[in-house]
C-alpha cells in the first residue's frame, strides 16, 4: 500500500463522458484533476467494442443525438478527433410488407399515411419542439432549490415560469396537460396511422421501465427531442463508434491538463467522518483530494463507494428508492454483407430503423417486463453504422446493432439460461423484416442489462443512471435534498447522468456540475 502525495484538487471517479467533461471544465478553471476509470478505455457507456474479430460496434448508446453544442464547442471535440460520418438521419418505421414510414425532423413520408396525419405531424412536431426548448432552458443550469430563496435559483424558476407563459395560452395549457400523462393518449389524440404512432411513442419509452401507456412517457419523449433544440435533425453516427467520442473527450480533457488513469478501480471514497479525503483504489493505493466528483450512478456512489452506513439514514433511504430498473438489451450482429430489408433501399438501411408495428405491440412487450419476463415480441431500434463507417468491419462486411426492449435486469428465470433463447428470438424478430439475414450472421452477441451493468457499472443496467421521469428530474434528481450536484457528504459531488438534467450522451450533467463546483470556489 502506498500513499501518494495530496497533489490533486479534485478526483473524478469514472471516465464516462460526463466525468471527463466535468474534469475538463475544472482543469480549465485551474484545478488539478485526476480521473480514475475502472475500464481500459475512457467514455463510459460511449464505448466501442470489438465483439468478434474485426467487427466493432458501439457497445451501449449507438446514436449521438443530443450532445450539447456548447460542450462540443468548449471542449473543441472535433479538433480532438471527433468526426461525424453521418448526421440528421431519418427514422424509418419498418412494416413487414415494406410500407415503411420515414420520419424526418419536420415531415413524414409513407404510402400508408393520410394527409391529415401529415398535417398533424407538422403541428405536433412544432409544439413538441417548443416544449423541449422550454425544458432546455432549465437544463443548462443547476436545478433550483425551492426553499433557499437563492437569486440564481429564483431566476431559473422565473425563467421556466416565464417560458411557460410565453408559450401562449393554448400551448401552455397543453404543456401542463401533457407533461405528466402518457404518450399513448397523446398519439391517439393526434394521429390515425398505427405504425406512425408506434414510431413516435417508442422515443418516449426507450431505455426506461415504461410502456406507452405509462405516465411520464411524454416527458421522456420531450427529453429525447432536446436533441432537436441542440441542432440535431435526427441521430448522428460517429467515426469509430461511440468509443471515439469517449476518446475525443478524453483527449480534450488531457489537453486541458486532466490526468487520466484507466484500469484503476476505485474501491471506496475515503471519508473523515463526513468529509471526503480522497479515494482508495482496488489494490490499496490511496489518493488524497479534498474534492471527489462521482461520475458513477448515485446508487453505486452511495451504496458501494461511500457505504450506506457512512451516510445518514434519510439519504440512504432516498438513494435506495431511486428507480433505476434497466430494461434495454443490446444485440450485435457481425454480418457477411448488407442484409435485405423488405422495401428498403440500401441508402435507407443506414438510417435509424424501428421495429414496433403498433403502440399495443410495445405495450404488450412491456407487460412481460412488469412481471420479470422478457418480451416475446420486443421493440427494436436498429443501427447499421458500418454503412457510414467501414472502419468498423472487415471489407465488405457489415455490423448491425439493436437496442432491444424489453429485457428486464432482474429476469425471473435468470439471464444465464435465458440469454441464448432471447438472442435467437430477437434475431427471428429482425428476420421477419430482413428475410435471409440469419444466413449472413458471422457471429452475434447479446448484452443484457446485467451485462451493461457490469460492463459500464450502472446500477440496474439503466442507461440514465435512474429513470427519467418527472418525479426524478430537476431538484428531485438524483433525489430530493441532494440537488445542485453537491451531496450530504462534504466534498462529494455527483456529475453523472444520475444528476440533473439526466442521461443520454448530452454532457450537461458534467458541465453543470463543474460550473457549480467552480462557483462554490474554495468552499467547494
Binding site for other proteins (CB under 8 A): 271, 273-274, 303, 307-317, 320, 481, 488, 490
Task: Tell me the C-alpha distance between 136 and 148, whole Å.
Answer: 23
Give 173's contacts (C-beta < 8 A, 6+ positions apart): none
Question: Between 100 and 299, whose beta carbon lies closer to other proteins?
Answer: 299
Q: Let me know: does 380 contact 403? Beta carbons within 8 Å.
A: yes
- Of residues 422 and 485, the one with the C-beta less far from other proteins: 485
C-alpha cell at 288: 488524497
Q: Which residues pair with 269 in a beta bridge?
A: 279
Q: How far is the CB of 296 from other proteins (least distance, A)?
A: 17
Nearer to other proteins, 274 or 454 (CB): 274
For residues 494 and 482, the answer to whether their CB atoms sit within 8 Å is yes
358 vs 488, which CB is nearer to other proteins? 488
Question: Closest separation between CB of residue 488 and other proteins, Å?
Answer: 6
Specify whether the CB–CB gap between 251 and 103 falls below 8 A: no
C-alpha closest to that of 494 among 356, 295, 334? 295
Closest approach of other proteins to the CB of residue 320, in Å: 6
**Closest CB to other proteins among residues 114, 274:** 274
Based on CB atoms, which residue is closest to other proteins, 70 or 275? Answer: 275
Q: How far apart are CB 481 and other proteins at their closest, in Å?
A: 7
Least separation, in Å, of the C-beta of 491 and other proteins?
12
Q: How far is the CB of 319 from other proteins (least distance, A)?
A: 9
Between 320 and 454, CB nearer to other proteins: 320
CB of 321 to other proteins, least distance (A): 9
Query: Cα-atom radius of gyration of the chain, to the nearest Å?
Result: 22
Residues 6+ apart with CB under 8 A from 257: 27, 32, 33
In the numeric block, the cell 462534504 is attached to 490
Nearer to other proteins, 372 or 481 (CB): 481
What stretch of H or E contains 63? none
Q: Provide, rounded to whole angstroms, the least separation between the CB of residue 325 and other proteins.
A: 18
DSSP 3-state assignment of 114?
coil
For 443, the enclosing helix (H) or strand (E) is: strand 441-447
CA distance 492 to 471: 23
422: nearest Cα among 463, 375, 461: 375
Task: Write down the least CB distance from residue 361 to other proteins, Å.
Answer: 39
Q: 486 by DSSP, 3-state: which? A: strand
Give, for 152, the enclosing helix (H) or strand (E): helix 151-166
Q: Of 147 and 395, which CB lies nearer to other proteins in the complex structure?
A: 147
Least distance (Å) from other proteins to the CB of residue 145? 14
Is 32 exposed, middle or buried (CB count within 10 Å of its CB: 0-12, 13-18, 19+)? middle
Cβ atoms 228, 129 nearer than 8 A: yes
Count Cβ atoms within 10 A of the Cβ of residue 261 and give its class: 0-12 exposed, 13-18 middle, 19 or more buried. middle
- Let me know: does 276 contact 489? Beta carbons within 8 Å: yes
* Residue number with CB closer to other proteins (406 or 479): 479
Q: Which residues contact 521 (CB under 8 A, 6 or more apart)?
A: none
CB 212 within 8 Å of CB 203: no
The distance of closest approach from Cβ of residue 490 to other proteins in the complex, given in angstroms and rounded to an integer, is 8
Nearest CA to 225 out of 127, 109, 141 is that of 127
By C-beta, is 186 or 315 nearer to other proteins?
A: 315
Amino acid at each position: 500500500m502506498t500513499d501518494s502525495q495530496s497533489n490533486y484538487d479534485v478526483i473524478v471517479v469514472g471516465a464516462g463522458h460526463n466525468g471527463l467533461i466535468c474534469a475538463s471544465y475544472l482543469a480549465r478553471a485551474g484545478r488539478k484533476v485526476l480521473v480514475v476509470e475502472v475500464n481500459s478505455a475512457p467514455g463510459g457507456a460511449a464505448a466501442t467494442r470489438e465483439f468478434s474479430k474485426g467487427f466493432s460496434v458501439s457497445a451501449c448508446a449507438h446514436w449521438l443525438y443530443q450532445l450539447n453544442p456548447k460542450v462540443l464547442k468548449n471542449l473543441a471535440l472535433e479538433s480532438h478527433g471527433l468526426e461525424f460520418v453521418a448526421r440528421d438521419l431519418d427514422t424509418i418505421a419498418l412494416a413487414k410488407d415494406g410500407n415503411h414510414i420515414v420520419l424526418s425532423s419536420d415531415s413524414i413520408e409513407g404510402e400508408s399515411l393520410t394527409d391529415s396525419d401529415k398535417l398533424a405531424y407538422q403541428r405536433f412536431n412544432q409544439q413538441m419542439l417548443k416544449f423541449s426548448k422550454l425544458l432546455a432552458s432549465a437544463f443548462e443550469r443547476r436545478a433550483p432549490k425551492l426553499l433557499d430563496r437563492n437569486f440564481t435559483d429564483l431566476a431559473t424558476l422565473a425563467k421556466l415560469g416565464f417560458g411557460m407563459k410565453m408559450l401562449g395560452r393554448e400551448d401552455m395549457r397543453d404543456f401542463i396537460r401533457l407533461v405528466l400523462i402518457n404518450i399513448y393518449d397523446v398519439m391517439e389524440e393526434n394521429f390515425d396511422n398505427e405504425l406512425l404512432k408506434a414510431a413516435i411513442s417508442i422515443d418516449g419509452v426507450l431505455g426506461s421501465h415504461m410502456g406507452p401507456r405509462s405516465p411520464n412517457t411524454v416527458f421522456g419523449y420531450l427529453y429525447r427531442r432536446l436533441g432537436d433544440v441542440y441542432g440535431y435533425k435526427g441521430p448522428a453516427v460517429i467515426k469509430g463508434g461511440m468509443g471515439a467520442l469517449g476518446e475525443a473527450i478524453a483527449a480534450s480533457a488531457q489537453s486541458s491538463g486532466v490526468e487520466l488513469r484507466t484500469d484503476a478501480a476505485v474501491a471506496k471514497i475515503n471519508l473523515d467522518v463526513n468529509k471526503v479525503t480522497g479515494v482508495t483504489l482496488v489494490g490499496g493505493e490511496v489518493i488524497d483530494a479534498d474534492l471527489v466528483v462521482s461520475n458513477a450512478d448515485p446508487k453505486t456512489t452511495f451504496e458501494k463507494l461511500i457505504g450506506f452506513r457512512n451516510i445518514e439514514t434519510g439519504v440512504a433511504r432516498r438513494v435506495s428508492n431511486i428507480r433505476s430498473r434497466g430494461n434495454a438489451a443490446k444485440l450485435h450482429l457481425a454480418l457477411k454483407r448488407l442484409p435485405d430489408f423488405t422495401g428498403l433501399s440500401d441508402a435507407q438501411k443506414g438510417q435509424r430503423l424501428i421495429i414496433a408495428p403498433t403502440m399495443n405491440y410495445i405495450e404488450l412487450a412491456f407487460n412481460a417486463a412488469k412481471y420479470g419476463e422478457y418480451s416475446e415480441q420486443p421493440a427494436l431500434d436498429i443501427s447499421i453504422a458500418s454503412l457510414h463507417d467501414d472502419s468498423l468491419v472487415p471489407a465488405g462486411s457489415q455490423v448491425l446493432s439493436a437496442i432491444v426492449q424489453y429485457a428486464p435486469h432482474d429476469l425471473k428465470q435468470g439471464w444465464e439460461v435465458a440469454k441464448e433463447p432471447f438472442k435467437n428470438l430477437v434475431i427471428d424478430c429482425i428476420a421477419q423484416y430482413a428475410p435471409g439475414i440469419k444466413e449472413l450472421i458471422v457471429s452475434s452477441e447479446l448484452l443484457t442489462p446485467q451485462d451493461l451493468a457490469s460492463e459500464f457499472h450502472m446500477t440496474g443496467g439503466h442507461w440514465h443512471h435512474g429513470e427519467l421521469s418527472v418525479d426524478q428530474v430537476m431538484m428531485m434528481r438524483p433525489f430530493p435534498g441532494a440537488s445542485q450536484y453537491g451531496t450530504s457528504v462534504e466534498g462529494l459531488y455527483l456529475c453523472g447522468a444520475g444528476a440533473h438534467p439526466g442521461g443520454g450522451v448530452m454532457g450537461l450533467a458534467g458541465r453543470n456540475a463543474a460550473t457549480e463546483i467552480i462557483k462554490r470556489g474554495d468552499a467547494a
